[in-house]
Structure 1
Amino acid sequence: MKNMNKNTHNSRLMMKLFTYIIALGGFLFGYDTGVINGALAFMSLKDQLNLNAGTQGIVSSALVLGGVLGAISSGRIADRIGRRALLRWIAILFTAATIVCAWAPGIGILICGRFVLGIAVGAVSGLSPMYLSEISTPEKIDRNVNRNAIAIVLGQLVAFTVNAFLGNIWGDWHAIWRVMMLMAALPAILMWVGSYQIPDSPKWQLLHGKETGAKTSFEKLGFSSDLMQENVAVVQKGLQENKVKKNVPLRRILRNKPLLFVFIAGISIALIQQISGVNTVMYYGTVVLEDVGLSRGSSLYGNILIGSVSFLASIVGTRLIATHNHRNILLVGIFGNVVFLGILSLILQLHLLPTAWLNVAVLIFLTLFLASHQGIVSPATWLMMSEIFPLPVKARFMAFATATTWLTNFVISLIYPTLIAMFGSALTFMIFSLTNVFSIFLTLFLIKPAKIQAAKHAPIK
């Protein structure tokens, strides 16, 4: 009995270790998208890269454009070589691209480095939650996938903290932005080393006829014998019904009405996550805070406050999501976005507060908006995307959904500096408040839990 309990305890510890290694992908996602927030102010200086509003948008959005390519290509690659092998290659790509960005002598090489870094970020953004869902027992799927969502926000918080620490202590050395970027190489190397310790997805192994390897992976992951046999039977039954093992033509999938519905639902979830405007604050938060009157040093510290509250909100929010209807909790988060961005816009438009109080109010409502999005909307959308797609098409549908996320992100991050220059912060925040209203309608009319559940079991004819 003691040996059985010891084995169970060891399996749980190993499972936690595996999930933390995979969630390093989410951490790198967060750090590399957040680090530009503080680094941009330094690299824009005349003695560095001398960026204007247009080139700031290009440097920021280059990563996001790479994210589109990484996300759209990751599904087929993950299906072909496996989840673990792809994670390992992504870690190598992260490390190499990070070094190029930190070394870049000019804007051209920096943009190229950011684009390649974006390929890694885009690929891991879909791979990590999918990998985590496939190695988890049913009762732990929500918790394990949410670890990746928390890791994203933690990565952003660490980026903000590193930016503030380096920027305020060594801010007179304008090349400090290179150190800010280089710090991301450490978790990338750790993820590469850790990838040799984790098992591959047993469900991917079953899809490729590797039943012996799948059973070994199930055992290593702590699946009971009954649960292991249940998973083997479900996958084999699905393969037999669909008479396909790996590559289902996309046109065949899209002629299937239930699968087409779930495909559209996944794209809608991806849109909801990005049209909130959250990444305008993630990428340009320092610029926004400076625009309303804060000094550069205060803006960097303000980002730490925003990131800290977002991180705490993500911990609380992921626990709420695990115990409540995912669609309903998503609606609550989107409604919070509408309210907080709307109030923020009114505060900036009405000019009723003196400068000191205005700065405080802006910080408060930016923080509340990010807490709502990072604590509820973002983890809910990543979790829903990881669980709604049927296994035979999961990797490719996840790739399309994450590619939509990155493409929308690219468009918004590219035009945001121009929006601020043309309309100012107040009207821009009101625009994003209205896009969140649109997200409420998307959720109500296109995300139907009953139809999604039916599609998961629909034969691919």
Structure 2
Amino acid sequence: MSHVQSGAPGAPPIPLDIAGPHTRRLKLITVIATFGGLLFGYDTGVINGALPYMKDDLGLSSFTEGLVTSSLLLGAAFGAVSGGRLSDARGRRRNILMLAVVFLVGALGCALAPTTQIMVAARFVLGLAVGGASVTVPVYLAEVSPAERRGRLVTQNELMIVTGQLLAFTTNAVIGNAFGEAGHVWRYMLAIASLPAVVLWFGMLVMPESPRWLASKERFSEALEVLRQVRGAERAEAELDEVKRLALEDKAARSGRWSDLATPWIRRLVLVGLGIAVVQQITGVNSIMYYGTSILTEAGLDTDSALTANIANGVISVLATFVGIYLLGKVDRRPMLLAGQIGTTTSLFLIGVISLAMPEGPGRAYVVLAMTVTFLAFQQGAISPVTWLMLAEIFPLKLRGLGLGLAGLTLWVTNFLVGLTFPVLVEKITISTTFFLFGALGIAAILFVARHVPETRGRSLEALETELRARYSR
């Protein structure tokens, strides 16, 4: 029989999982949990098309335009760090249920906001849910998944994120083209996000808790019951033994606290995680996901044409994520991340050159669109799926919530800075220089990945923890 590696030297190997009724249960858990990713995608993408209409109704300047966009991202930074801690304390499932309620409240608050100030506050609340989901859903999926399928299952969340963004771009185009002359059309774009929040809440009511979280609380019989729902019988028993051993070891070493960062190998690993988070965002991906319509109007299209053309960014994001999910089962994480960084950095420099060299008009707009599509193919097909997967994998069990929360905080603060400054940078230093700046940051990201990021593919979470402890203790 084939086996996966055990986390403990000399321990018996764990049998590979085989197909059965539990496989369907695992797929259902993945679909329901990743509605958190769908909401993440819709709520971050909807501003792209809503902003041109909102600017007129709320009287936004370039600064307040950036503030409305980025207030969600600031909320996401706080939501990420608090969401990680709450998921450690209360459980992954209960945390996702709470986040569904926050998603609903935030979406309705945005849709009904009468002033810029209230819109900023409602977007901040919505961001708390986005940030919490960004760290809780990948951990939940990683801890429920068998090691040999973890890459593909965790990356389903990334697929749902880009699907949510495509849904937002498509909805924006339909509503904008059909009702663009009506007042407050952006409110309808924002209100639609309340529907998946309701589905997420009802769905998670009947989903199980993470078996690894249950084991960390010494609820081993409940952990085994969950493993039997999502594994074959032989695999469930063997996996519980490994999870139980590591949970007891972690408890003996004291469970995840800030003081654990004083341990050199943990501190170094956390710094690598923070670096991976920054690397994903300094490509400037979300300048395209949030301001794609504005970029195309700046290049020479009218608003209705830009809304429609921007759907191409959403389509390529979804298609590229499918490719990324396939590659994660075939290719190591680190080379995939490097290839993505090289592709996005090259695309950024080309967007800068095109914006500088070609005259404003539809021709330039469609060439810029072709380059943003190329950029997103590398970003969503390689960088984004690897980022969230590696962040869900590299932290030790006792520090998984805290470590992922810190990485999520760093990611969202970087995202916030990109979202806040992009319209101001375009106004002050031109769009071409702005993309040259992102390209320079991309070169720094390539050097960081090449030197510091470890490989995580093909190990159980427990085996990976043992390996990384040895690597970063040297």
- Range of TM-score over shorter length: over 0.9
Q: What's 2:13 paired with?
A: none
- In structure 2, what residue type is equivalent to 1:30? G
Is the 1:267–1:404 contact (alpha carbons within 8 Å) kept by the matching residues of 2?
yes
Q: Is 1:375 the counterpart of 2:381 in the alignment?
A: yes
Q: What's 2:156 paired with?
A: 147
* Partner Cα distance (1:189, 1:296) in 2: 32
Q: 1:239 to 1:213 in 2, by over 3 A?
A: closer
Q: Is 1:92 the counterpart of 2:105 in the alignment?
A: no
Q: 1:226 to 1:258 in 2, by over 3 A?
A: farther
What CA deviation, in whole Å up to 9, does each residue of 1:401-429 have, x standing for no partner?
11111010111111111100011111111
**Aligned residue among 428, 431, 439 for 2:437:** 431
Aligned positions of 1:51-200 closer than 5 A? 51-200=60-209
Deviation at 1:432, TM superposition (A): 0.7
Moved more, 180-189 or 339-348: 339-348
* Partner Cα distance (2:254, 2:465) in 1: 22
Deviation at 1:91, TM superposition (A): 0.3
Deviation at 1:245, TM superposition (A): 7.9
| Alignment gaps of 5+ in structure 1 | 1-6
Q: What's 2:401 paired with?
A: 395
Secondary structure of the equivalent of 2:256?
A: coil
Is the 2:247–2:397 contact (alpha carbons within 8 Å) kept by the matching residues of 1?
no
**Aligned residue among 22, 37, 52 for 1:11:** 22
Q: 1:433 to 1:452 in 2, by over 3 A?
A: farther
Secondary structure of the equivalent of 1:449?
A: coil
- In structure 2, what residue type is equivalent to 1:232? L
TM-score, normalised via structure 2 length: 0.91
Moved more, 355-364 or 209-218: 355-364
Q: What's 2:252 paired with?
A: 244
* Partner Cα distance (1:20, 1:115) in 2: 26
**Aligned residue among 440, 447, 465 for 1:441:** 447
* Partner Cα distance (1:127, 1:63) in 2: 17
- In structure 1, what residue type is equivalent to 2:37? G
What CA deviation, in whole Å up to 9, does each residue of 1:257-282 have, x standing for no partner?
22222111110110011011000111
**Aligned residue among 202, 226, 231 for 2:239:** 231
**Aligned residue among 447, 460, 468 for 1:455:** 468
What CA deviation, in whole Å up to 9, does each residue of 1:232-252 have, x standing for no partner?
22233224434438733322x
Q: What's 2:461 paired with?
A: none
- In structure 1, what residue type is equivalent to 2:236? M
Q: What's 1:44 paired with?
A: 55
Deviation at 1:373, TM superposition (A): 0.5
- In structure 2, what residue type is equivalent to 1:249? R
- In structure 2, what residue type is equivalent to 1:119? L
Q: What's 2:357 paired with?
A: 350
Q: What's 1:341 paired with?
A: 348
Q: 1:179 to 1:457 in 2, by over 3 A?
A: farther
* Partner Cα distance (1:50, 1:174) in 2: 14
Secondary structure of the equivalent of 2:145?
A: coil
* Partner Cα distance (1:176, 1:23) in 2: 28
Q: 1:366 to 1:132 in 2, by over 3 A?
A: same
Secondary structure of the equivalent of 2:207?
A: coil
* Partner Cα distance (1:98, 1:271) in 2: 27
* Partner Cα distance (2:292, 2:309) in 1: 9
Question: Identical aligned pairs, as a percentage?
Answer: 36
* Partner Cα distance (2:141, 2:46) in 1: 25
| Alignment gaps of 5+ in structure 2 | 1-17, 457-463
Moved more, 7-16 or 401-410: 7-16
Is the 1:310–1:371 contact (alpha carbons within 8 Å) kept by the matching residues of 2?
yes
Deviation at 1:453, TM superposition (A): 6.1
Is the 1:389–1:456 contact (alpha carbons within 8 Å) kept by the matching residues of 2?
no
Is the 2:214–2:223 contact (alpha carbons within 8 Å) kept by the matching residues of 1?
yes
Q: What's 1:4 paired with?
A: none
Is the 1:245–1:392 contact (alpha carbons within 8 Å) kept by the matching residues of 2?
no
Q: What's 1:259 paired with?
A: 266
* Partner Cα distance (2:414, 2:58) in 1: 27
Is the 1:43–1:174 contact (alpha carbons within 8 Å) kept by the matching residues of 2?
no
Is the 1:160–1:300 contact (alpha carbons within 8 Å) kept by the matching residues of 2?
yes
* Partner Cα distance (1:242, 1:391) in 2: 7
Is the 1:90–1:120 contact (alpha carbons within 8 Å) kept by the matching residues of 2?
yes
TM-score, normalised via structure 1 length: 0.94
Q: What's 2:392 paired with?
A: 386
Secondary structure of the equivalent of 1:344?
A: helix
Q: What's 2:459 paired with?
A: none
Secondary structure of the equivalent of 2:123?
A: helix
* Partner Cα distance (1:339, 1:453) in 2: 37
* Partner Cα distance (1:278, 1:144) in 2: 23
Is the 2:286–2:419 contact (alpha carbons within 8 Å) kept by the matching residues of 1?
yes
Is the 1:60–1:283 contact (alpha carbons within 8 Å) kept by the matching residues of 2?
yes
Q: What's 2:317 paired with?
A: 310
Deviation at 1:322, TM superposition (A): 2.2
Q: What's 2:288 paired with?
A: 281
* Partner Cα distance (2:219, 2:154) in 1: 25
What CA deviation, in whole Å up to 9, does each residue of 1:78-123 have, x standing for no partner?
0111111000000011011111110111111111110000000000
Q: 1:95 to 1:338 in 2, by over 3 A?
A: same
* Partner Cα distance (1:164, 1:242) in 2: 51
Deviation at 1:163, TM superposition (A): 0.2
Moved more, 120-129 or 238-247: 238-247
* Partner Cα distance (1:376, 1:370) in 2: 9
* Partner Cα distance (1:270, 1:117) in 2: 21
Say how many residue pairs are matched: 449
**Aligned residue among 332, 336, 346 for 1:325:** 332
Deviation at 1:371, TM superposition (A): 1.4
- In structure 2, what residue type is equivalent to 1:294? L
Q: Is 1:291 the counterpart of 2:291 in the alignment?
A: no
What CA deviation, in whole Å up to 9, does each residue of 1:19-78 have, x standing for no partner?
011111111111000000000111111xx1111101101100110000011001111110
* Partner Cα distance (1:183, 1:162) in 2: 9
